[in-house]
Amino acid sequence: MKRPNFFVIGAPKCGTTSLVAWLSEHPQIYMSPVKEPHFFNTDHTYNVAKSTKAYERLFERACSNHRAIGEASVYYAYSNNAIPLIESYASEPKYILCLRNPYKMVVSLHRQQLFAGYEDVLEFSEAWRTHRNRISYGNLPAKCPDPIHIDYENTCKLGSLLEKVKKSIPEKRLKVLLLEDIAKDPLAEYIAVCDYLGLERIIPRKFSVENPAKRKINPWIHSLLRKLGRAKRAFGIERGWGFLNAIGRLNTREPLKCDISEDVRSQLVEVFNPEIDKMSILLNKDLSSWKM
């Protein structure tokens, strides 16, 4: 049984879905068919793979041609348990951490959690104002599996996250990507990842954008499709996804414009400008243009 030897460990809404889609086309890479199994973050409550046997089954189709075997779970970087457990499970694994401008991330994250059904406060400013109290008092949305999904402040403190990760992983086994760099020159960033993983520079057919910001028209239909999808995966049913995906596309629209109130804007500046400064130092890169 082959085990994964590289992990995309975060962060959410920072281009991980697109990156995984591109890597999946590389003939020397095997990616878990289930994105975000979150097997190793045992201190969170939404793990998809519940046992070692179930987790390793994700990689049973990997063969000798696959020099790099990986999976992507965007909350591994936030977990206190995940990286130590990965280190004890895999032999000198490599890690990829995707980051972005936290101001853009926090709005995108709120939209994603609305779409997933993990958030029920429609306006971003109100969700930001209330998220700390909702977490503190356990007043989570009914379908939210873990408080981290609406912990907008701590999830988007990317300078602190990068600092934490750098303390846990040797520099030679950590690759940091910025979504802004990926969007500007996806080919260059993709080639850098191939080199980092020690693979041939085999380019995907196209650099498509996966999992863009979106909103659902009918929440009931979206919820039903998610339940059907989970049931199909549980029973190992591989056919019929096209029909469900078509319904999902018809039920999806681009997100509405986000208007941030002045009081929340001030709070965001107080929280995220120092985080950007910290990222700049840790990455040795001028990110001052990100600041509000």
Q: List the domain boundaries for the chain.
A: 6-214+254-290
Nearest Cα neighbor of 164 from 253, 275, 33 is 275
pLDDT of residue 210: 82
Give the other-Cβ count within 10 Å of 279's Cβ.
Answer: 25
Per the CB < 8 A criterion, the answer to whether 193 and 23 are in contact is yes
Q: What is the dihedral of CA 137, 141, 146, 148, to 10 degrees?
A: -80
Q: Is the pLDDT of residue 55 over 60?
A: yes
User: In this model, does residue 76 exceed pLDDT 60?
Assistant: yes
Confidence (pLDDT) at 49: 83
Mean pLDDT of the chain: 89
% of residues, the chain, pLDDT over 70 = 84
Count Cβ atoms below 10 Å from residue 284 Cβ, excluding itself: 6
Predicted confidence band of residue 259 (pLDDT cuts 50, 70, 90): confident
CB 4, CB 86: distance < 8 Å: no
pLDDT, position 209: 85
CATH C-level class of 6-214+254-290: alpha beta
Residue 2: pLDDT band with limits 50, 70, 90: confident
- Looking at residue 257, its pLDDT comes to 73
The pLDDT tens digits for 3-23 are: 999 999 999 999 999 999 999
pLDDT score of 252: 56
The phi-psi region of residue 279 (left if phi > 0; otherwise alpha if psi is between -120 and 50; otherwise beta) is alpha
Q: What does the CA dihedral 69, 52, 168, 92 come to, rounded to 10 degrees?
A: -40
The CB-based long-range contact list for 269-275 (8 Å cut-off, 24+ gap) reads 271/153, 271/157, 272/102, 272/103, 272/106, 272/156, 272/157, 274/159, 275/102, 275/156, 275/157, 275/158, 275/159, 275/160
Q: Which residues lie across from 178 on neighbouring strands?
A: 99
Q: Which residue has the higher pLDDT, 192 or 249?
A: 192
Residue 95, helix vs strand vs coil: strand
Give the pLDDT score at 218.
55
The pLDDT value given to residue 40: 97
- pTM metric for this prediction: 0.86
Range 79-84 average pLDDT:
97
**According to the model, what pLDDT value does residue 254 have?**
55
Report whether the peptide linkage leading into residue 11 is cis, meaning its omega lies within 30 degrees of zero. Answer: yes
User: What proportion of the chain, given as a percentage, has pLDDT over 90?
Assistant: 76
Q: What is the pLDDT of residues 88-114, one digit of tens each?
A: 999 999 999 999 999 999 999 999 999
- Pairwise CA distance, residues 197 & 217, whole Å: 40
pLDDT digits (tens, 9 = 90+) for 189-241: 999 999 999 999 999 988 988 866 555 555 555 556 556 665 555 555 555 55
Token pair 């999830």 is at which residue? 155
pLDDT at 240: 57
Q: For residue 251, what pLDDT is reported?
A: 54
Select from 221, 227, 211 the least CA-distant residue to 250.
Answer: 221
In this predicted structure, the answer to whether residue 286 has a pLDDT above a threshold of 90 is yes
Distances (CA, A) of 230 to 48, 120, 173, 225, 234: 10, 21, 34, 9, 6
When pLDDT is averaged across residues 44-65 and rounded to a whole number, the result is 91
Give residue-wise pLDDT tens across range 133-163.
999 999 999 999 999 999 999 999 999 999 9
